[in-house]
């Protein structure tokens, strides 16, 4: 059993600026690519983020599947997270994504990664993969992430600035 590749992106995911990096990740993984857009709000925001990610990775030649939003269909999401070559966690709200990947979804992601599946997280997606993260809408205090990247804590950038984050 081998642990899968991790790709942490700061942002600008699903754009031409990340195309070369995403192609390099795909060269090191198997299909299918599964998108879990849990950092997006439920409904149309989830659907839109999923569609953008699907189009981006399909244009790179990948077979892409979208996991149902686990807030609406947990069994369907867990089923989608069965055969995964690359799991994509696009950016958005770190608090929302942390809620989505807590519990059985996070457990399944851990199983996949320990079994060799790669994970690409952008912005909020990268944050939750670390030991700790700072979630602005949870008071700015560090909270536990999934722990795939040991010894690293990430804060979410905000265009409005805000306090200097303590990540220790």
Q: What one-character-per-residue DSSP string does 85-99 give?
A: SEEEE--S-HHHHHH
pLDDT tens by residue, 74-129: 999 999 999 999 999 999 999 999 999 999 999 999 999 999 999 999 999 999 99
Q: How far is CA 148 from the centre of its chain?
A: 12
Question: Quick one: residue 107, left, alpha or beta (phi over 0 = left, psi -120 to 50 = alpha)?
Answer: alpha
Residue 33 has pLDDT above 90, yes or no: yes
> 33 pairs with which residues across the strands?
64, 86
Q: How many Å apart are CA 55 and CA 154, to the nearest integer?
A: 28
Threshold 0.85, pTM exceeds: yes
Q: How many Å apart are CA 75 and CA 82, to the nearest integer?
A: 11
């Amino acid at each position: 059993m081998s642990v899968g590749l991790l790709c942490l992106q700061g942002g600008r995911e699903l754009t031409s600026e990340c195309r070369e990096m995403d192609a390099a990740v795909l060269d090191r993984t198997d299909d299918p690519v599964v998108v879990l857009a849990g950092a997006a709000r439920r409904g149309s925001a989830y659907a839109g983020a999923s569609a953008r990610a699907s189009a981006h990775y399909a244009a790179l030649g990948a077979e892409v599947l979208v996991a149902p939003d686990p807030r609406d269909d947990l069994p369907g999401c867990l089923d989608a997270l069965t055969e995964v070559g690359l799991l994509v966690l696009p950016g958005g709200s770190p608090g929302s994504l942390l809620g989505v990947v807590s519990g059985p979804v996070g457990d399944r992601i851990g199983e996949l990664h320990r079994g060799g599946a790669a994970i690409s997280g952008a912005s909020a997606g990268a944050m939750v993969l670390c030991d700790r993260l700072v979630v602005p809408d949870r008071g700015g205090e560090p909270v536990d992430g999934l722990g795939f990247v040991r010894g690293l804590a990430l804060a979410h950038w905000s265009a409005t600035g805000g306090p200097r984050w303590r990540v220790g």
